[in-house]
Structure 1
């Protein structure tokens, strides 16, 4: 019974060219930091408008969160519209829906303009529950749809062979292959004067007009405008984003089923959550993508169990025996459920940020690109400033902020007091653990060749204690989601410096 390769289907079936590393000082009109959907789409739109754009990516294009998504292109962001109406009113809720629907149209238009194939298909989207206690929430969401004029329906059953007590359906949604979308746009950027660099990590920004992005390995980019599209802003102390974002990991497995896929995209509101969509493999056969089992980054049980839980659910519900791929993703949530898109602070007019997409980064990233492009090109918001990061996050947001700060403080203290009796000799090949050396915790990983990697387990962002992720073979920070390779190199921010290696 195959568990599948630990790789993203999107990454394996895309083919980005390699781009050089930037090592010297350069100048441009707009510097976009981050080579995912928000960054590349922003660079594409600004290039179309005639701006000189430089795009830099710390690793490889599309290999961040965008490469590990479920790739649902939808306005159905869980149960959101009843909440938005209650918190902000119908106008804001309708703007949020319209913005997401416009992203579907944008992808359709871009597919035609660039004469590409994004494997785009129109699908209905469902949020469902199999628990009686959650039925009323589903019904309230349908009432919100009716208030806002959202096409859909309230359903008793699903076309999917899964038990459901109630579901809310949203019509005219979409799914696609996100990296084919990004690949086509990068080709356009490169052929129209834009410059793209990989393996180029931004470390800090010297503010001013122009601003200068300082690179980790030397060199810099000086620009009139800087767009921070790094998922979690690497320049996060400006605007206190480290305290305004919640971080979570979720998991995906994919494989084939003897059942016919009925069409549609599905997500449960129950715990643990389950998400289902389809895709076509390289031979044109149907893959079932099953996601869920989310938890706060750096917390919870052994990470491999989450993949096992999803595979077991696929076997029990859809008779799946063979699995082709498994991967995981990291997502960030704002304090009030709306994205953070716009100027990083009210006082900083030429630095822009795009983050907090709440696990809906495909529509959120494109919305961010359109909004930031409008702010740079025309000086105005497309969406009535509802995503402005400088907005008040409200009473509930303040409560969440206080909770986040307490959790970080607890991690800072408890992490340093972590007990361990392990020694290096206790570790098998492919295993990791923590030992104490001269009173300090040291993270030790013994790779499959027997080489021992030792790192200081203090996160280089704000000093929390990182924890081992056995599914990804990474060190993960539970405070703000920074992730590091087993040998200490930073993978995902907000950290920009590697873990210190220990001799």
Structure 2
């Protein structure tokens, strides 16, 4: 099946916020929000409505990060998480997690209705399903958690079997969830606040100095409150987030198929993971969105394009899909206990990160919590999401040790890898590590035959990046930084580009 050469998100192809200029002077405001995804945009919008003077800065373009490359499910069903939350935090806080997310869904729905935003906000039930009985004990434990917490859902194997064209052993449903078009939604929010908020694109934050956010182009934004909503916190050494966040990459395709699902949003708990939902295109036809193929960022046992091919094969076998119209990937950050870090990191600094693939709801929860904290209002969810929380289960500590051991292995192993590939061996459109004048060098040969050469050493902590053939990028296997083929930063925590050669 034909798969597009270039990565393009369906959401980014159909509506994007207007363009804003970079920051070109020092600025003083009440609040500076760093990050132009759902958290940053909603936080800036909410605070501006409270009368705060707000600046919003984004390193690239608004919604260019994970927000524009999501599957856009608006749901509190975050996999089989509630049994785990009960085990880690107890029933009371597990219920708070559910209620915070349900409030976020209600907030999004209310905002869509009040502003009359045309963003395909569609109520849907959400399902997590299994295709083998191996995962049945975990599903049954999750069902018990639903019953303990009073979650609006339960077993729904028959419904899932009716709606999905392959074997489903069992499924759990969570009712009254939704999906939408995230970029159209945020475009309307940006337009609504454009006259009240100072918005700057192509403005990368590099450091916090007291009340000032310093940018890589030499300017400062001085504020009483600093909100770090830059996906991976750009100030990650302050809080050791590089050691407490696990970056994962996942993939999605948009296909026209012979058979569609008529209703519902689906995600598999067994492996390989599969996420399934539909979207309605501009012409009224349905686009089937299939996601999955998760792996640690920068570390995969196959070439990256192979992940798209696996999704396309799944779509062909089960849905009769013959054409892939869109393909895109996203990077997600997972905390040690799977609950995001949201809240006050220091006296005047707030952080929001670690959404674990559920950014549409967790990002909205973050905007609600941080707005309340800045406005000095009580928020009953703040303690649960507190980024300074210290309670760590032995299993979480094991994860911490294991992940950081892998980072150490990559840091050392990457330096020892050798190559004998000559730059002349690269075909147009290909990239990789080659030898140039006796030195290992990252090279990409564009369609015109011009070679772009970079030092492959990540500017964050010195790990060696690897070539991503699907996205034409250099990806760091240690902490997930990503760089374009010519070295520009695509995703943090790195701030500086790769050195050109």
| Cα contact 2:260–2:288 (8 A) shared by 1 | no
1:403 matched to 2:402? The reply is yes
Compute the displacement of 1:437 (Å). 4.7
Question: What pairs up with 1:214-229 in 2 under 5 angstroms?
Answer: 214-229=214-229
Task: Spell out, residue by residue over 1:327-370, the C-alpha distance to the aligned partner (whole angstroms, 9 max, x if none).
Answer: 000000000111100122xxx21111100001000000000000
1:175 matched to 2:176? The reply is no
Separation of aligned partners in 2, 1:27 and 1:170: 45
Compute the displacement of 1:401 (Å). 1.8
Separation of aligned partners in 2, 1:93 and 1:398: 20
| Cα contact 2:431–2:444 (8 A) shared by 1 | yes
Task: Name the structure 1 match of 2:19.
Answer: 18
Task: Spell out, residue by residue over 1:255-287, the C-alpha distance to the aligned partner (whole angstroms, 9 max, x if none).
Answer: 112224220000001111000001011101111
Name the count of aligned residue pairs.
495
Tell me which moved more, 397-406 or 459-468. 397-406
Task: Spell out, residue by residue over 1:383-420, the C-alpha distance to the aligned partner (whole angstroms, 9 max, x if none).
Answer: 04100010014133322222222111111110000121
Task: Spell out, residue by residue over 1:76-127, the C-alpha distance to the aligned partner (whole angstroms, 9 max, x if none).
Answer: 0000001111111111111000111111111111112222112101111111
Separation of aligned partners in 2, 1:279 and 1:133: 31
Task: Spell out, residue by residue over 1:187-226, the C-alpha distance to the aligned partner (whole angstroms, 9 max, x if none).
Answer: 12113x211010111111102xxx1111101211011001
Compute the displacement of 1:435 (Å). 2.4
Question: What pairs up with 1:11-160 in 2 under 5 angstroms?
Answer: 11-157=12-158, 158=160, 159-160=163-164
Separation of aligned partners in 2, 1:458 and 1:170: 45
1:187 matched to 2:188? The reply is no
Separation of aligned partners in 1, 2:385 and 2:347: 16
1:197 matched to 2:195? The reply is no
Runs of 4+ more than 3 Å apart: 379-382, 436-440
| Cα contact 2:251–2:294 (8 A) shared by 1 | yes
Separation of aligned partners in 2, 1:48 and 1:153: 39
Separation of aligned partners in 1, 2:96 and 2:438: 55
Separation of aligned partners in 2, 1:201 and 1:260: 42
Question: What pairs up with 1:201-280 in 2 under 5 angstroms?
Answer: 201-207=204-210, 211-280=211-280
Separation of aligned partners in 1, 2:105 and 2:337: 24
| Cα contact 2:251–2:308 (8 A) shared by 1 | yes
Task: Name the structure 1 match of 2:441.
Answer: 442
Structure 2: tracts of 5 or more residues without a match: none
Query: How well do the aligned residues superpose, as a CA RMSD in angstroms?
Result: 1.2
| Cα contact 2:156–2:171 (8 A) shared by 1 | yes
Task: Name the structure 1 match of 2:296.
Answer: 296
TM-score (structure 2 length as normaliser): 0.97
Structure 1: tracts of 5 or more residues without a match: none
Separation of aligned partners in 2, 1:259 and 1:435: 45
Tell me which moved more, 119-128 or 380-389. 380-389
TM-score (structure 1 length as normaliser): 0.96
| Cα contact 1:416–1:441 (8 A) shared by 2 | no
Task: Spell out, residue by residue over 1:50-91, the C-alpha distance to the aligned partner (whole angstroms, 9 max, x if none).
Answer: 100000001000111000000000000000001111111111
Separation of aligned partners in 1, 2:166 and 2:206: 47
Compute the displacement of 1:246 (Å). 0.3
Task: Spell out, residue by residue over 1:104-153, the C-alpha distance to the aligned partner (whole angstroms, 9 max, x if none).
Answer: 11111111222211210111111111121101111111111011111112
Task: Name the structure 2 match of 1:427.
Answer: 426
